[in-house]
Amino acid sequence: MPQSTEIINQTGRVVKVLAFFLTLAVSLAAFSTKAEEGHSSGLFPAPPLEQVASTVHEIAAGMARGRLVIVRYLGNRCSHCVEQLTYLNQHADELRRLGITVLATSHDSRDKWSMLVKEYSIDTAVFRYLPDSNKEIAQSLGAIRMINDTLRDLHVTVACVNGQVRTALYSDTPYMDVARIIGLVADEATQIPVAESEYIDRYLSGTPRVTTIAGPSDGIQDPIDLDFNRSPLLGRDLWVVMGDKSGHAMAIVHNATSNQKSIRLKKDSRAYHFMWRSMAIAMGTNGSFATAQNGEPGDGDQNYMFMGPTLWSSDTAVFASRYQTEDRRLASHLDMLHQNPWCLGIAHDSANIYWVLDAKYPGVSRYDFRDPHEVGGTDHRDGIIRRYIETSITPAQRGRPAHICLDHSSGWLYYVDPGSASVQRLDTRSGAVRDTLVMPPQSAENLREFTSVTGARFDTVISSGLAEPVGIEIVGNRLLVGDRATGLIHVYDVSNAKFPRLGSIVTGAKELLGITIGPDQRLWFVDRATAKVCRLDIEAQSDLLSSVDVTTAISGDTVTFTYVNAASSAVRPSLAVRWVSTRTNKSSAWQPLDALSVPAGQAANIAVVVPEVDTLAVHRCEVAELLASGQTGFVASATIVPRGLRRVVIQDERNGTFDIREAIALTSRTGYVTMTSDVFVAVADSLRSLKTALWNSGSVGEISPVDEAVIMSLLGRNIDLYLIADDPLALRLESPMAGAFFRSLGVAPLGAEENDSLKGQRIFTGVLGDPVTAGMTLIDCQLPRLDHQRGGRYIPNMLLRPLSNSKTMLLRRGDTASGAVRCENRTLRCIILGINASRFLDGVQRTTILDRGLVWLEEAANPDTVATSVTDEPGNNDVSGRLTLQQISGGAYLWQVTDINGIDAEQAIVEVYSVAGQRMLTLYEGALSGARGTFSASNLASGCYFVIVRTMNRRLHSTFINQ
């Protein structure tokens, strides 16, 4: 079936990936790329896919039946090429788990490849190399060809599954959207590491121990179901569906399997329909997920039938972020179909195909959302629904889920029949489409197909021993069924035709609902009665932990790790340390640490001394246990930021493919150290030598309340700032008290420009006499479409109005609206660029604007700098007020706002946020004169947190680490 997807390439232009079924002898279903008209750089059209497929079979005959990524690069002298390979290598563990092999090929000899492997610690269990000294492979792939009368030597990235080419990308520079490539290859792969039944059987033979991951103090209320993100590089994020009075909400536990987790609560503004009475969640492998709704929306009409499962994006910059206040669009949902209004459970199959259990038409249906409409859209015409009319269940009382799970290896779908307290199964690979079904008027919609299926195999596999079955999961040959009435999880052997019960696992839950298996192979569940999200561990398990996730340090400082020995006898673990540069991706060799003896049931600290390392790079300190088998056991890490940094680049755009670090390297400015925003905000207060910061939020992301507070703190500390963002500024504009943030930057936002008649084109011009843009004309920019699950709208750019202490830096051609503004007072300069730097079609123009902008900012520290025409506006950077935070005992903290003379009447909100920007606690609302109190962090997970004070005119914050 033909499908279409869209991707955003490295210059921000939209390219299309067209799928077609090739009726060739090789029977390959493949995708082809095509650049948009007028696109002269970045990605180029792929040659005929049969040519690519034929070459793949020739050069990778022994790997053609697996999951394969082919990277054709330009040799080890190409720094961009090396970066692409090392970025893939960073995810070697995930690639190995997913069964993905990377085949690299270039004109380099094997000796040069071996040098690359040694220098960058390339994992040879994942990577293979094929030399192409005569460039015969490159010619066969079509990488060397004439384009516009120029001979081009192109980079190539090909994603294949069992010989089928999923996508073939040809580009001037290496394709860096590694997450997308891995997702294409890993789609339909088992995302959870399956150790057959080994770990499940350990629960039966050992003593399970319940670990609470999140509870009421984290904002958890009425948890219903949970699932781990199945996208390959985000597989440790746990999504939890919760209930409330006006549609359901979501708790996202980022890095749930680590000791540095953070919890974010999100709720879509249209949840009263698209998530009303959600009973279940199923995460897809392609960046989307679906929820199953049960019954009437917010109007309370129990006979309302226009309901069904909803498709969402698992990108948190889209889910419950996009179009939350815009009436023209239906918030952030991707798709919704309406023929199963009383859903009880849902399971993911592949792509955008899901299986649904329904109580209104009691039985199983197959939903294929195919290509979702644009974010917040309404077009369902390509949807396919097939109802298995011979399946039947007996619903239980309203509000009780009946979950389902799919065994991808066998095609059996297992589902709970709540009314008979049994478990049934359906062979999803059996049956045939029979008739077109007629929709009831209440749920009529245009679909490509709405049919019945008959002749499928189904039967009852568990008919006794269950009181109120709800949660269900399958791992290897073990079927797990949770019982709400008893809190037990029963384990059955599906390899035996009689499905014998092997035993039960005690959870202690008072109302056990959803269960799932995590990437750590452990059981996770929700207890609705106590509002907890829990994990089942096994007693007597050791661990290796880092005392901090992120810290600042210099050579000679120490970083502390802890080895926990839960065994019944002393151990002498063999430990080693290595340092990995995030700038070069190079890692040092493993160096053994001093011998350590840890008594039974105790813990021992390991002090690692920071060596002489590159002071212009962030490093990751990794400590690992080296097993006798030569394998790596426990691993813990900490991120180390040089304490004396003066210039930083903060990368806040995670999903974009534009490399701001490379863009800055093309300028004349030196000494800038790049790090991600979650690392920077954790150490920003400790970087006391900082002078200049470039903060790149780009397009695909959000400026969180923590980001906002830290940015305003930088301005208050007179740190010169270059802020680049378009869509994140539009999202920030919708937030409460946003005016203070924009005023601190010297601008008044006019809003986001979304003129689709221009097809994303924006043309700006420089300003006469401006130190950054003078002499620049026809600055051509091209906005991409909002490509979160193929939304069709163009990403907007922000239009700005300079305040009296600011000047316009970029003018929209033929208008007076500003696309960029620079601001200056006696002690501070800042620039706000309301369009993503990747959107400039002319790379020279982009480099000029970045270079001149940084020069102008850095001159602020030069006392001989001649003053510009920009005037001061006292009060715009008013830093009155100071937040103090003191730990008084255990997890208790004393906080107080001081130095409030003249501002004591300002109304303030004081809250605690996680590093991910999630509000954890509200401490105070009222006048600043009364802003003081205490709070306990004992119920917060370990990690970095922020106390933030917000008023209409200022932000104050303080950072603390919860151990």
Q: If pLDDT is split at 50, 70 and 90, which confidence band does 656 have?
A: low
- Smallest CA-to-CA distance from 553 within 470, 645, 478, 633 is with 645
Say what the pLDDT of residue 889 is.
82
Nearest one of 428, 426, 447 to 436, comparing CA atoms: 447
Q: What is the pLDDT of residue 540?
A: 63
- Of 712, 606, 726, nearest in space to 949 by CA: 712
Q: Report how far residue 371's alpha carbon sits from residue 351's, in angstroms, rounded to the nearest whole number.
A: 10
Q: Per-residue pLDDT for 17 more than 50?
A: no
Q: Of 609, 626, 624, 622, give the one whose Cα is nearest residue 582.
A: 622
What are 189-245's pLDDT values in tens digits? 544 444 457 778 888 988 888 989 999 888 899 999 999 998 766 778 999 999 876
Strands 100-106 and 67-72: parallel
Residues 6+ apart with CB under 8 A from 245: none
CA 767 to CA 91: how far, in whole Å?
Answer: 45
274 exposed, middle or buried (CB, 10 Å; 0-12, 13-18, 19+)?
Answer: buried
Q: What is the dihedral of CA 814, 817, 818, 823, to 10 degrees?
A: 130
User: What distance in Å separates the CA atoms of residue 286 and residue 181, rounded to the nearest whole number?
Assistant: 10
Average pLDDT of the residues in 421-426 = 97
* C-alpha span between 240 and 250 (Å, rounded): 6
Q: How does pLDDT run across 707-759, given as a tens digit for each residue?
A: 999 999 999 999 999 999 988 888 888 777 888 999 999 999 888 776 667 77
- Position 12 scores a pLDDT of 31
Region 833-848 average pLDDT: 91
Q: Which of 318-332, 751-765, 869-883 is most confident?
A: 318-332
CB contact set of 496 (below 8 Å; sequence gap of 6+):
none
408 burial class (0-12, 13-18, 19+ CB within 10 angstroms)? middle
Token pair belonging to 814: 């033929």
Query: pLDDT tens, 104-114?
Result: 999 999 999 99
pLDDT given for residue 236 in this prediction: 82
pLDDT level of residue 33 (50, 70, 90 thresholds)? very low
Higher-pLDDT residue of 355, 36: 355
**Is 441 buried (19+), middle (13-18) or exposed (0-12) by CB count in 10 A?**
exposed
pLDDT value for 937: 87
Kindly report which listed range (91-100, 430-439, 589-598) carries the lowest average pLDDT score: 91-100
Per-residue pLDDT for 901 more than 90?
A: no
Strand arrangement of the beta sheet that strand 892-898 belongs to: 882-889, 892-898, 932-936
Query: What is the SS3 assignment for 96?
Result: helix
What are residue 693's DSSP bridge partners? Answer: 648, 721
What tens digit of pLDDT does each residue of 126-157 get? 999 999 999 999 998 989 888 777 788 899 99
Q: What would the mean pLDDT of 372-393 be, rounded to a whole number? A: 87
Beta-carbon count within 10 A of 45 CB: 13
Rounded distance between C-alpha atoms, residue 777 and residue 900, angstroms: 47
Between CA 489 and CA 506 the distance in angstroms is 7
Residue 564, phi then psi, degrees to nearest 5: -100, 120
Q: What percent of the chain has pLDDT over 90?
A: 46
Long-range contacts of 289-293 (CB under 8 A, 24+ apart): 289/227, 289/229, 289/239, 289/314, 289/348, 290/346, 290/348, 290/354, 290/367, 290/369, 291/241, 291/248, 291/346, 292/343, 292/344, 292/345, 292/346, 292/356, 292/357, 293/341, 293/343
Alpha-carbon 556 to chain mean position: 35
Residues whose CB is less than 8 angstroms from the CB of residue 665 and which lie 6 or more positions away in sequence, other chains included: none
Q: How far apart, in whole angstroms, are the C-alpha atoms of residue 391 and residue 362?
A: 8
What pTM did the predictor assign? 0.68
Single out the residue of 711, 652, 654, 716 nearest to residue 684, CA to CA: 711
* pLDDT at res. 745: 93
State the Cα angle at 14 between 137 and 820, rounded to 5°.
125
**What sign for the dihedral angle of Cα 627, 630, 636, 638?**
positive
Which of 435, 432, 315 has its CA nearest to residue 372? 315
Average pLDDT, the chain: 84
